[in-house]
Chain A
């Protein structure tokens, strides 16, 4: 396994611009998750995919946020019209569907700074 891969690792953008993050999960992991983490806090759940189906979205995910997993493999998280409050680390994680224990495996995260 090569692990969960996220790109870019760091992004600085001006307020109002759109940004997109990509996540490549561990191969053959059916489940994919996006979390957001701000300084001094634990990861907060944003959304969850089972293969290509987006099964749950948190209320934290405003209409400026959209996530896709078109072929059930990689996923993208797009933030439109960024605001300073969007500055955070965006974590992607994946897990196999059949494993008991719901263990999720995280990527290195994508840092977003909105200036």
Chain B
């Protein structure tokens, strides 16, 4: 069975600081992994996805994530936080050949001026 664990329900950083949002997954088959962002009262927008090509995946808005099979992790990073990055971030997993995408509980990112 697939599952996703996001470490830390809230993360607070200063503007210009490194953003690191943690995600660990569980999957019995090679996974597809995703990060989505959600702004208040909106749906989820895809930031980036891993589909077994390069292990370092670059996404929109300067975000990137690295797939580490040995650690079953897919952490999201951004070198320099902007105020506009404040939002809820969700890590998700889907099994290759499957159709269901399972989401983590989310991490709310706060950016301080």
Q: Is the CB of A43 within 8 A of B103?
A: yes
Which residue of A is nearest B50, CB measured?
Answer: A101
Q: A103-B46, A106-B45 are in contact. Are A41 and B99 (CB under 8 A)?
A: no
Q: How large is the interface on A (under 10, 10 to 19, 20 to 34, 35 or more residues)?
A: 20 to 34
Residues of A with C-beta under 8 A to B4: 42
Residues of B with C-beta under 8 A to A4: 43
Interface residue count for B (Cβ, 8 Å)? 26
Residues of B with C-beta under 8 A to A106: 36, 43-45
Q: Which of B102, B103, B104, B105 has the most CB of A within 10 A?
A: B103
A45 within 8 A of B: yes
Residues of B with C-beta under 8 A to A111: 41
Residues of A with C-beta under 8 A to B44: 43, 91, 106
Residues of A with C-beta under 8 A to B42: 108-109
Q: Which residues of A contact B (CB under 8 A)?
A: 4, 31, 33, 35, 40-45, 48, 50, 55-56, 91, 100-109, 111
